[in-house]
Amino acid sequence: MKFIDELEKYKDFDVDAFFDNLTQADVFSVLAKSRLDCFDYLTLLSPLAAKYLEPMAERAQRDTIRNFGYTIQLFTPMYIANYCENLCVYCGFNHENKIYRHQLSIDEIHKEGELIAKSGLKHVLVLTGESPKYSSVDYILDAVKVLNKMFTSVSIEVYSFTQEDYVRAVTAGVDGMTMFQEVYNKDVYKMLHLCRT
């Protein structure tokens, strides 16, 4: 299932009416549940729930400790290329920005990885601009394979892959992925995220 398909289910949902019909009992009920659904999260985002930030924080802390323990994971971002085909108005990698563009070679990735590993950090996040032309899936996964020899965790923050390429990424050793969708309003998205392709 694509995220856009899930988003489309709620395009006509009346959030204001949902908020207007909430009671304090609804907020307390959600906070007492062991597992939350999307409407439970929406309840906790309501203006009514703003009065219950402390119980929400306590719940979040309990869930975090239950799911992850008492850990903090630090990572180093490693930008392996800054080529981008998009014209996102807020981004330094914007295709029209007059900046020096570079793609690290596999040897440069190895050297950079060694330097980062010497610092004691065990987790690295591989980043690129959105340019399959300059940062192909194969190139990104070759970088992951090199970095997996030095780090206990290699994550990626790159353009969206196909499902098959995500499978290849996991096989190559990717154990985490971040993808940002800065805005869900289609009109605002179009205004902020212009694409050349």
Residue 154, beta-bridge partner list: 124
Statement to judge: residues 89 and 126 lie in one domain: yes
Which of 91-95, 96-100, 139-143, 151-155 shows the lowest per-residue confidence on average (mean pLDDT)? 91-95
Statement to judge: residues 85 and 164 lie in one domain: yes
Statement to judge: residues 59 and 81 lie in one domain: no
Q: pLDDT digits over 70-126, tens only?
A: 988 788 999 999 999 888 888 888 888 899 999 999 999 999 999 999 999 999 999
Statement to judge: residues 29 and 110 lie in one domain: no
Statement to judge: residues 64 and 121 lie in one domain: no
Q: What is the mean pLDDT of the chain?
A: 90
- Name which residue leads in pLDDT, 33 or 190: 33
Identify the domain containing residue 80 by its residue range: 76-192
Identify the domain boundary among 68, 86, 113.
Answer: 68
Residue 196 has pLDDT above 70, yes or no: no
pTM for the full model?
0.73
Q: pLDDT digits over 157-168, tens only?
A: 998 899 999 999
Residue 132's closest CA among 165, 155, 107? Answer: 165
* Tokens standing for residue 47: 């203006």
Q: Count CB atoms within 10 A of the CB of residue 22.
A: 16
Q: pLDDT digits over 49-64, tens only?
A: 999 999 999 999 999 9
Statement to judge: residues 54 and 80 lie in one domain: no
